[in-house]
Amino acid sequence: MNTQTFLLRGFAPLWQKKTVAAIVFVLLIQAGSFAQETQRYKIGLIDLMLLKRQKLGAITLTKQIGADGVEVDMGGLGTRPTFDNQLLTDSVREQFLSKAKELNLEIFSLAMTGYYAQSFCGRTEYVQSIQDCIKTMQLMHVKVAFLPLGVQCDLRKNPEVRDSVVARLKVAGKMAQEAGVVIGIETALDAEGEVKLLKEIGSPAIKIYFNFSNPLKEGRDLYKELTTLGKDRICMIHCTNKDSVWLQNDPQIDMKK
């Protein structure tokens, strides 16, 4: 089964049912225990983009669409010291795990999307949010977390926050490494800049959560950036671009390439 066929399998039910306004696909590229001989990549959906943030219905909808798994959000953050995360409640978490097992789906990632709007590099309290995410990962047997650096920690527009970003990611990386998990970061840097950032952080538990739309909207070469980073620096690929076109019809993206 090639990648293109796999993507089409996920889209077909949406054309028929018109269930969701926007879908974002994530490809698991950490070969390891996830890979299969007949299928190099697995396709996942994001509960937030299914309009079902930390809701059990996201798992059912993922099965209906035909994907392999789902990324579950950690919940809102706001001015709280940590996420509004219901998954630390045993009964709630067990519902998610049981439903995923029943439908033969993976919960392959937890997302800290609250940091899109909140400042990871500026908040006084950030350690507890990382601790809570890692604890939830361990309880749910999830190996990857998504951490966007967001607007306030944009290292291109705000280079003065770099020292804070690096220092905090070193702390997060140590915590993740001790727990045996990986935190994937999304930045505004180009691939060469991300390679330098990862070297500066110096943690094998911090990798890149690569978003197609970032190089495309800046006019950079998507394929070259993937090659520059390479598989060992990327933990996941966020396959999204503009909302106006289906992914397989996007003139800016050659999925097979």
Q: How many CB atoms lie within 10 A of CB 101?
A: 11
Give me the pLDDT at residue 25, please.
Answer: 52
Q: Please tell me what DSSP assigns to residue 247.
A: G
Give me the pLDDT at residue 41, please.
Answer: 85
Give me the pLDDT at residue 245, please.
Answer: 84
Closest to 245 in 3D by CA, of 48, 1, 4, 11: 11
Percentages of the chain per state (helix, strand, coil), in multiples of 5 = 40, 15, 40
Q: What's the CA dihedral at 179, 182, 184, 190 to 10 degrees?
A: 120
Residue 90 φ then ψ, to 5°: -55, -45
Give me the pLDDT at residue 180, please.
Answer: 97
Which residues of the chain have a pLDDT value below 50? 1-24, 29-36
The structural domains of the chain, with segments of one domain joined by +, span: 23-39+46-249
- Residue 140: which H helix or E strand, with range? helix 127-140
Assess if CATH 3.30.360.10 describes domain 23-39+46-249: no
Give me the pLDDT at residue 171, please.
Answer: 98
